[in-house]
Structure 1
């Protein structure tokens, strides 16, 4: 693993964010390892009532349909990133535009990759109540 901007986890994170911005579901799913998992947010939420995460391509595709497809746009407004081992953590916020409203989820967003650079885990540490408190008109 390197410690430059070419760090494999940072490359995967950047590609993931780009696929979301481009609204390219197939490209986004292709970034994940076969047993990859999305936990966004971690634990029980309106996207994942049982809090077990979305594991494998079919579940990750269903997460896209629930959480990403209904939005008008998603922006990644990250202040910094920290790459260590096979992982990277971004700090900042994700801004979602949907239904004439803007919602900001502030937190820590991590990507863990395998030796081939495929995403093993995308984990998002953000609080639903705090994000809902940011709702404002576009």
Structure 2
């Protein structure tokens, strides 16, 4: 099964391209490659606001904090499946609509429905990745794979 299923437009847009590179790196467990996609002062808010990954709700700012987010939220997942149903690019941003499935140790999985927004700088580096999803809705999908 392909790790990233893309149903959005195929048009080239810097933020869309960066978002696709990000999903690809996550799906392959390529932490350093993923971190290199971010501007030095980039921020990750996944999900936006206070969460189990971000107790202050301020986001993960800078590559060191983004690396710590990887270790906390991504590293423990056996594999990810991205199913992007649509993608809307405007200005220096893109909003992808879809589902991220996390396959967890022990054979369970969680489907996270959301809108995933990326903003890039002039060099195409991600300055902001904001994920709109609801913890309760995602956890309600927890099941054995």
TM-score (norm 2): 0.91
Q: Which of the numbers 29, 39, 51 marks the counterpart of 1:23? A: 29
Q: Is 1:81 equivalent to 2:87 in the alignment?
A: yes
From 122, 125, 128, the equivalent of 1:121 is 128
Distance change >3 Å, CA 4–CA 106, structure 1 → 2: closer
1-structure distance, mates of 2:26, 2:131:
15
* Structure 1 spans left out of the alignment, 5+ residues: none
Q: CA deviation at 1:4?
A: 6.3
Alpha-carbon deviation of 1:24?
Answer: 0.4
Q: Which runs of 4+ in 1 moved over 3 A?
A: none
Any idea what the Cα deviations from partners look like across 1:39-83, whole Å, max 9, x if unmatched?
000000000011000010100000000000000011111100000
Mapped partners of 2:11, 2:18: distance in 1: 11
Aligned ranges for residues 1-138 of structure 1 at < 5 Å?
5-99=11-105, 100-138=107-145
TM-score by length of 1: 0.96
Moved more, 93-102 or 79-88: 93-102
